[in-house]
Amino acid sequence: MSVFSPRMALVSIAAALAIPATASAQMAMDATWSFRLGAYFPNIDTKARADSTSGAVGTSIDFESDLGLASTKTLPVFDAQWRFAPNHRLELGYLDLSRTGNTTLTANIEWEGQTFSRSTQVRGEFDSKITSLTYLYSFYRTPATELSAGVGLFYTKIDAGISNQGTLAVDRSVSANAPLPVIALRAEQRFAEQWKGELRYQWFGVKVGDYDGSLNVFNAAVAYYPWKNWGVEAGYNYSRYDLKVSREEWTGEAKYQFHGPVLALVASF
């Protein structure tokens, strides 16, 4: 499997912009299929806690400052949209935010009933894989403007763990699969023949099974179509998870957010 890098994204976008636009070039806003492939450059802040099976509350750990995980990363992004009727759309997206880090602890921490002592060399891991499926209904639609609302599902798989190094090796990991229903809002506006802007917002804030908390996802983007079916997009994404987990595999919480710019190629047919 090839590695998607920001260099690849920038080279592809530069090549796209180098092709002259034609007089008939315009956005395919009524396209049946749309695909977006690009690179996301988020800043990340992650905090999590894992309590013991006896009920003792664990330490709230900052995975970047306490465990040495990178606070920035370049991620590939992929989204697909199917407009199966003029006012009805389905969207599919996937994002993999996986990181590990190594550090020497500066304070004692409690994680899933295990004490990791100060000055211990440890390895931290926090993986978040998000698959989203969203249905949108366009309640207002003109050739230049489209306003939509809908519902969706964010299926989030979280794996978090700490392990030490040495003769008495200890590895403590927790995991959760959180299917989070969301409310989705969308606004799209064509500013000129080859330019459009888009605002997207998705929200979850109810207790579902073993999960309680909130999810907020906001995206703003501007797209330029130098020819009919192909374009480039620049935007900014913000996501925040605040989840309390009460499961056999994990009792505790995860609070993490990531936000930053996105560059992408867009194809519509």
pLDDT of residue 24: 35
Q: Which of 3-17, 89-103, 155-169, 202-216 has the lowest mean pLDDT?
A: 3-17
First to last CA, the chain: 26
Distance CA 236, CA 214 (A): 20
pLDDT of residue 165: 73
Q: Which residues contact 243 (CB under 8 A, 6 or more apart)?
A: 158, 176, 178, 211, 212, 213, 215, 253, 254, 255
Conformation bin of residue 53: beta by default, left when phi > 0, alpha when psi is -120 to 50: alpha
* 232: confidence class by pLDDT, cuts 50, 70, 90: very high
User: What pairs with residue 181 in β-bridges?
Assistant: 153
pLDDT above 70: residue 191 = yes
Q: DSSP character for 17?
A: H
pLDDT above 50: residue 175 = yes
Distance CA 205, CA 89 (A): 24
Q: Which of 18-27, 72-81, 92-101 has the lowest mean pLDDT?
A: 18-27
Domain boundaries, the chain: 6-19+33-268
Exposure string of 10-38, with b = 16+ CB inside 10 Å and e = fewer, is eebbeebeeeeeeeebbbbbebeebebbb
pLDDT above 60: residue 49 = yes
Quick: pLDDT tens for 112-166.
999 999 999 999 999 999 999 999 999 999 999 999 999 999 999 999 999 987 6
pLDDT of residue 167: 54
CATH class, domain 6-19+33-268, is mainly beta
Helix (H, G, I), strand (E, B) or coil at 150: strand
pLDDT of residue 55: 84
pLDDT of residue 221: 97
Q: What is the pTM of this model?
A: 0.85
- Consecutive H or E run containing 14: helix 6-18
